[in-house]
Amino acid sequence: MNLISTTNGEKFDARDGETLLDAATRGGVALGYSCRTGRCSSCKGLVRSGSTIAVHDELGLTAAERDAGWILTCVRHASSNVELDIESLGDIQLFPAKTTPCRIHSLERLSADVIKVVLRLPPTSDFCFHPGQYIDVIGADGLRRSYSVANAPNAAKQIELHIREVAGGAMSRYWFEQAKVNDLLRFNGPLGTFFLRDTAGKDLVFLATGTGMAPVKAMLEGLRNSADDANKPRSVSVYWGGRSPQDFYWDPASLAPGFVYVPVLSRAEPDWPGARGHVQDALLASTPDLTQTVVYACGSDAMIHSAREQLIANGLPDKCFHSDAFVCSASN
Ligand X SMILES: Cc1cc2nc3c(=O)[nH]c(=O)nc-3n(C[C@H](O)[C@H](O)[C@H](O)COP(=O)(O)OP(=O)(O)OC[C@H]3O[C@@H](n4cnc5c(N)ncnc54)[C@H](O)[C@@H]3O)c2cc1C
Say which DSSP state 176 is in. I
Q: Applying CB under 6 A, which residues contact ligand FES?
A: 33-36, 38-43, 60, 72, 74
C-beta of 203 vs 221, nearer to ligand X = 221
Q: Establish if 3 lies at the interface with ligand X (CB under 6 A).
A: no
Distance CA 332, CA 324 (A): 20
Q: Tally Cβ neighbours within 10 Å of residue 108.
A: 10
Q: Establish if 59 lies at the interface with ligand X (CB under 6 A).
A: no
Residue 166 touches which member of ligand X, ligand FES, none, C-beta under 5-8 Å by kind: ligand X
Q: Tally Cβ neighbours within 10 Å of residue 243.
A: 12
Calculate the CA 318 to chain-centre distance. 17
Q: Measured from the CB of residue 328, what is the shortest distance to ligand FES in angstroms?
A: 12
Q: Measured from the CB of residue 19, what is the shortest distance to ligand FES in angstroms?
A: 9
Run of H or E residues at 284: helix 279-285
User: Which residues are CB-contacts of 68 (< 8 A; sequence separation ≥ 6)?
Assistant: 46
Distance CA 112, CA 263 (A): 18
Residue nearest to ligand FES (CB): 74
Among 2, 19, 25, 34, binds ligand X (CB under 6 A): 34
C-beta of 219 vs 327, nearer to ligand X = 327
- Strand ranges (DSSP E) for 166-220? 184-191, 203-209
Number of residues assigned to the chain: 332
Of the candidate spans 72-80, 83-91, 231-239, 323-331, the one that interacts with ligand X by CB under 6 A turns out to be 323-331
Residue 277 touches which member of ligand FES, ligand X, none, C-beta under 5-8 Å by kind: none
Residue 43 touches which member of ligand FES, ligand X, none, C-beta under 5-8 Å by kind: ligand FES
Nearest to 119 by CA among 106, 109, 137, 100: 106
C-beta of 35 vs 223, nearer to ligand FES = 35
Q: Establish if 168 lies at the interface with ligand X (CB under 6 A).
A: yes
